[in-house]
Chains A and B, each alone.
Chain A
Amino acid sequence: MSTTGLGGGLDATPAPVAERFEPSRSPFSWLLQRELVRYLRIWYYSVLGQISTPLLMLSVFGFALSHRVKGTGGVTYTHFILPGLIGQTLMTVGYINGTTSLFDARRDRYFNDVLSSPLRWWEINLACVLAAVIRGILTCGLVAAIAMPIVGATIDRPLILVAGLPAALIVAAQLGVIAGVHIKTMDQNISLQTLAVQPLTFLGGTFYSISALPPVWSDLSHVNPVFYVVQVMRIGFVGSADLSAGIGLAVLWSMAIVLTAWSLQLFRSGRRLKD
């Protein structure tokens, strides 16, 4: 150990130049941990804050209207809208996590600490996506745990949820990550949320069946990605929806694959992450 010029017993000798980088612990696990710490440190906003909206909507729309409006598939209106509210929350949380984490890191330039480290490009992408997925599971799990006993909801087709939830979580997380890579200003971030994400979540069929819509609006619903998340969630909870389970799952997984490929390409090339 050498301490030349540096006090406090610091080992100032540089590490030997190794032929191969051999980490004692995976840098990926550190980055994932950092991503989790980031939002768990502000859990009252990042997790609890995100469950208040769906629970309020459930109270206002569900309990206030359930005596006047019937759900489809033989369930109450509150039961009918609950899966959609969970899907809506999942999309919002996934998107917000990706944009906030990446956009902040890029804007304040501490993302350079990650880019200049031995982390591989796909590890950076995976850590961002996985953190958003875990946040989605935590938040939606809490919404379901609180709302299901109140509403008296059950899970009618659990296998559909098992097959569909991972795809929905990936779609939401990758959309957030892709937006986080592209967004340049806070104004853009807010605009995208208010002009695109919020309308899409509200028009995703949470509060209504698209069979009740005029044909044009019904057709337009099919190009809204949130629609498929809501439908698959509804099939899982209620047993049926406006789509067959097969089509819903096929579209969701296709979106998950395409968005993942796009996101990976952004990280591999680094063109929007580096100068």
Chain B
Amino acid sequence: MRCISGTSALSVCGLRKTYKGGFTALHGLDLELAPGRFVGLLGPNGAGKSTLIGSVCNLVIPTAGEIRVFGHDHRSREARSLIGLAEQEVNLDRFLSVEQILVYHGGYHGLRRREAYRRARELMEVFRLSDRAKNNLSELSGGMRRRIMFARALMHRPPLLILDEPTAGVDVDLRIELWQYIRGLHADGTTVLLTTHYLEEAEALCEEIVLLRGGRILARGTADRLRADFSASDIAGVYAHAMAVVDHGHGAAA
């Protein structure tokens, strides 16, 4: 099967991942993201969202399939330099200060020292972390850590931003703030792939929604299109219908 497009921001073709224990998280998944699109990935726990993201970002070794980022093989340095990732779990270097976390991330992506510090200062200003620049992680709240994760993903100005449940466990104020940041980045041309459990978040932010379950894509389209296809009044109804179809109609996919 040929499904790779050289012009896409992200092309995933026939992606399969079977873990050591025999569990298959992704079953030959195909996915294309055009440059500048904002796509939401929705699905229950174990749907394969994080495995898909891990595969794209070189954190998971796929069993089969091909992944390209702006035409580059996902394992290449070029591809990795084009992706910004904020993972679901807070995974910050506890040996470094807030500023150092950002600066070193920039360094891993090839920024020179002065450039990395300038960019880090900009991001700390925007994310209201400037007065915490020299603090260690142990001195920061959960919300601050989440903001660092977000800032870190933006250090090298990635054209493709992958956010794995960026608002999980954050309060309403911070969630609204993060939405504003994400909208701003998308408006300025960043391609965004967002996974979330919050259906209203996907509906409010994303141009397209992909419903994933059991490592397979169940449906994909704009919120309007999905509502029409599933005869639902909102995206929660779409989600419920899609999952019910799998449960009752195609048990193998679950």
Contact = CB atoms under 8 A, between A and B. Distances in A.
Interface string B118-153: 000011011000000000000000000000000010
Interface in A26-42: 26-27, 29-31, 33-34, 37-38, 41
Interface string A1-32: 01111111111111111111111111101110
B70 interface: yes
B85 A116 contact: yes
Given A8-B125, A116-B83, A275 B92 contact: no
B126 A274 contact: no
A74 B247 CA distance: 83
A24 B115 contact: yes
A17 B60 contact: no
A275 B110 contact: no
Contacts of B57: 112, 116
A37 B16 CA distance: 39
A64 interface: no
Interface string A215-253: 000000000000000000000000000000000000000
A120 interface: yes
Contacts of B61: 270-271, 274-275
A217 to B, nearest CB: 41
Nearest to B159: A14
Contacts of B222: none
Contact of B111 (A17, A24, A270): A24
Contacts of A33: 104, 107
B126 A25 contact: no
Contacts of B94: 104, 108, 110
Contacts of A108: 91, 93-94
B157 A118 contact: no
A183 interface: no
A116 B105 CA distance: 10
Contacts of A120: 77
A113 interface: yes
Contacts of A113: 91, 93, 105, 108, 152
B93 A117 contact: no
B185 interface: yes
B125 A4 contact: no
A22 B104 CA distance: 17
Contacts of B87: 109, 112
Interface in B46-98: 51, 54, 57-61, 70, 76-78, 80-83, 85, 87, 89, 91-96
The 5 lowest CB-CB distance pairs between A and B, nearest first, are A5-B184, A23-B110, A30-B107, A117-B108, A109-B91
Given A17-B70, A116-B57, 12 more contacts: A5-B181, A5-B184, A10-B122, A13-B157, A14-B189, A17-B82, A18-B78, A38-B95, A109-B91, A118-B80, A274-B54, A275-B60
29 contacts: A2-B188, A4-B184, A5-B183, A6-B185, A12-B184, A12-B188, A12-B190, A14-B157, A14-B185, A14-B189, A15-B82, A21-B77, A21-B110, A23-B109, A23-B111, A25-B111, A33-B104, A37-B95, A41-B95, A108-B94, A109-B87, A110-B94, A112-B59, A113-B105, A113-B108, A116-B59, A118-B78, A118-B80, A270-B61
